[in-house]
Amino acid sequence: MAVLEVYEYPHPVLKKKALPVEKVDDDLRKLMDDMLETMYAAVGVGLAAPQIGQSIRVLVIDYEQEEDENGNRIKGNPRYFVNPEIIWHSDEKVCGEEGCLSVPGQRAEVERFEKIRVRYLDYNGKEREILADDFLAIVLQHEMDHLDGILYIDHLSRLKRNMLLKKLEKYREEEKHERD
Ligand code: NI
């Protein structure tokens, strides 16, 4: 497995609508394994393929990660979604704070459907359906947005989005400063 580069805002690949996967094969499984390792290394709970520069409809999620003796994140309950589609959602919505590895160091409140039913192909290419609620529903909606070229900051008002982008700029300057 390999840790890949995470593409950050405003990289154009993050704005593209990703293409469906035609076949779940060993190459795709290797990519999903690498995405998972990249996500653990970056301390995230979800990662979509466009975030590693691949404009295809694939995402991985694991919010039950464990830590090894060195404090590194390791596999908890990894979930793999290929060509996911929302086939039903509740009328009810919930508000929660979200962050994104492609918008480092920032968080903001976003509204999402409380429950969704998603059809997808799993790690072995088998068609499945899941009724997701709570945190899984939120993470899935966030990651599925990535497949349509949408970032969580695109759900914010123009004012809030601009404020967050200013903070992102500042955050990056500070990070750069720390590295120099
Ligand atoms: Ni994200």
CA pair distance 113, 91, nearest whole angstrom: 7
| pLDDT tens-digit profile, the chain (180 residues) | 899 999 999 999 999 999 999 999 999 999 999 999 999 999 999 999 999 999 999 999 999 988 899 988 888 999 999 999 999 999 999 999 999 999 999 999 999 999 999 999 999 999 999 999 999 999 999 999 999 999 999 999 999 999 999 999 999 999 998 888
- pLDDT the model gives residue 8: 98
Residue 179 Cα, ligand 1 centroid: separation in angstroms? 24
Q: How far is the CA of 89 from the centre of ligand 1 (A)?
A: 20
Please, which residues have CB within 8 angstroms of residue 137's CB and are 6 or more apart in sequence?
112, 113, 114, 115, 116
Catalytic annotation on 143?
yes
Backbone angles phi, psi at 159, to 5 degrees: -65, -50
Which of 92, 111, 143, 175 is catalytic? The answer is 143
Would you state the pLDDT for residue 101? 98
How far, in Å, is the centroid of ligand 1 from the Cα of 112?
14
What is the separation of C-alpha 111 from the centre of its chain, rounded to a whole number of angstroms? 16
Q: How far is the CA of 8 from the centre of ligand 1 (A)?
A: 10
Q: Calculate how far, in angstroms, residue 114's C-alpha sits from the geometric centre of ligand 1.
A: 18
- Give me the pLDDT at residue 74, please: 84
Distance CA 95, CA 139 (A): 12
* CA 44 / ligand 1 centre spacing (Å): 9
Residue 4 has what DSSP assignment?
A: P
pTM of the model: 0.96
Tokens at residue 17, please? 């609508």
**Residue 84: helix, strand or coil by DSSP?**
strand
Closest alpha carbon to 81 in 102, 55, 61, 51: 61
What pLDDT is attached to residue 71?
Answer: 87
